[in-house]
Amino acid sequence: MLKRIILLLIVPLFMLSGCYYGNTGADAERPEYVVAIHGGAGWITPDRYSDEEEAAARAKMNEALEAAEAVLKNKGHAVEAVEAAINILEDSPIFNAGKGAVLTADGTVEMDASIMNGKDEQAGAIAGVKHVKNPISAARLVMEKSKHVMLSGEGADKYAAENGLDTVPNHYFITEKRAKNYNKNHPDKEPIHKFGTVGCVALDSEGNLAAGTSTGGMADKEYGRIGDSPIIGAGTYANNETVAVSATGHGEYFIRFSVARDIHSMVEYNRWTVERAADFIIHRKLKYYDVNGGVIVMDRNGKIAMPFNTPGMYRGFIKSTGERDVKLYGEEK
């Protein structure tokens, strides 16, 4: 209770300390398109990766950005760009999504994903799937073809297969690295990735925002655990009038605090910039509760914020102006 009272006092003080900014507004100069991606936040430090591993991660992030850019250059919708980028990340064993996802306590892979269209606020999500090759594509299928927002487990896998998406045996997702670090094989070893996710936010030439998130969830998760990634308003959110958000971190808290929707609300109601809203959530609210994670946020004019409170976060962006960057570690120039 004391923490909640203190936090309620912090918010107005934060607004009065020079952080109450007007929204960037429709008059701001907007690039033709912008894409930003993340590949998870966590204990990502240079000493944990070989030069080859680091180079491979950077190359795959760039490949994902370029896949999304190819869509947007051809006047494709932001939703298509988000799916294209995340498909690349899901197919790579480097990240905790799709192939290379962490193992559950039972030694299997269970995946979650969601996508949201900022134009009409339609959304789709899948949770606990074991066979659909690209969960983000299944989430888009749910959004565009079904009358529901979320499908889970066997039903979601079945729906994906019946509608022509590729499905694979569960062992397809299990890599040698994940199997080697499976806790039941090494009960005294801390898992390399307690949590992780990949995500993308995009702005297209028509001014549409979209966001998507895909994950294998927490390592050693039990009982069909579902995190924030498939929860609209927690791990994913998009609205053309405000922001597109994709989150990564300790999902239970991101769900409790409705992180993605909270950032949207700060922009919509407080008129904060995306930088201030995202910074407050990640570096003040979540950190106050000792919650680790990060977000990528984009406003309706293509302004980007990518804060995280862990040692590193895979992150990058590309713009129609030619600007682009990919980073892995904190304080990386």
**Cα torsion through 84, 85, 90, 93, rounded to 10:** 130
Predicted confidence at residue 21, as pLDDT, reads: 35
**Residue for token pair 């405000």:** 242
Active site residues: 197
At position 273, the amino acid (one-letter code) is T
Residues 199 and 212: beta-carbon distance below 8 Å: yes
Q: What is the pLDDT of residue 190?
A: 54
Residues for the chain: how many in total?
A: 333
- DSSP class of 102: P
Beta pairing, strands 150-152 & 122-129: parallel
Q: Which domains does the chain have, with CATH numbers?
A: 36-328 (3.60.20.30)
Residue 207: the pLDDT is: 98
Residue (of 262, 249, 232) closest to 117 by Cα position: 232
Ordered mean pLDDT values, 10 residues apiece, the chain (333 residues): 55 45 54 97 92 96 98 98 98 96 95 98 98 98 98 98 98 92 60 69 98 95 95 98 97 97 97 98 95 97 97 97 96 73
pLDDT of residue 180: 85
User: Shortest CA distance to 104 belongs to which of 222, 252, 250, 248?
Assistant: 222
Q: How far apart are CA 126 and CA 135, in angstroms?
A: 7
pTM value is 0.90
Amino acid identity of residue 231, one-letter, is I
- Between the CA of residue 302 and those of 33, 205, 240, 245, 273, what are the distances in Å? 7, 11, 11, 12, 12
Distance CA 20, CA 144 (A): 37
Residue 86: phi, psi to the nearest 5?
Answer: -70, -30
Tokens encoding 181: 């670090």
Radius of gyration of the chain (CA): 19
